[in-house]
Amino acid sequence: MQTNSTYRKTYPISWDQLHRDSKALAWRLLHLDYFKGIIAITRGGLVPAAIIARELDIHLVDTICVSSYDWKDKKGEADVLKKFEGNGEGWLLIDDLVDTGRTAAIVKQMVPKAHFATVYAKPAGRPQVDTYITEVSQDTWILFPWDSESQFVTPLAGRDRTTE
């Protein structure tokens, strides 16, 4: 879980929920003009981009690679590891989440004419996004399924109640 004190809540997302929410985003995008391709913002945008590409029958998928988080905290500066050639006109830009909007601003500067869609949006970053599905409070750390795993939990009846 996020150790930064700005996050007071955790919102775990299952693979099933991510699939449903990504498909809902595809439904929302279906009425828009035809997109010639998808640009996934890696790494978080890869899974939603694959689902949306299938649902919108888009076969051309590219990436913009930006690293702004490590496994437990925000980094100071975002590193652009791979750019996209062109201004993004006719392209659909996909990410899993817009948080502060810092990464979104960098990417939108690279492809200003792309339609930017995310599955989840927080208030600080929401103005950067053209389309999203679910808004989550700014103080919530979204725990994506690729960042967690299922494990056994002792039933409530079997726990030591003095430590809870």
Domains, the chain, with CATH or none: 9-148 (3.40.50.2020)
**What is residue 74's predicted lDDT score, i.e. its pLDDT?**
54
The model carries a pTM of 0.83
Q: Strand 140-143 and strand 9-12: pairing?
A: parallel
Long-range contact set of residues 102-110: C-beta below 8 Å, sequence gap at least 24? 102/68, 102/78, 103/41, 103/66, 103/68, 103/78, 104/128, 104/129, 106/66, 106/78, 106/80, 107/41, 107/64, 107/66, 110/64, 110/80, 110/83, 110/84
**What is residue 41's predicted lDDT score, i.e. its pLDDT?**
96
- One digit per residue, pLDDT tens: the chain, 164 residues? 444 567 888 999 999 999 999 999 999 999 997 899 999 999 999 999 999 999 999 999 999 998 876 545 555 677 888 999 999 999 999 999 999 999 999 999 999 999 999 999 999 999 999 999 999 999 999 999 998 888 888 888 877 766 55
- Give catalytic residues, as residue numbers: 95-96, 99
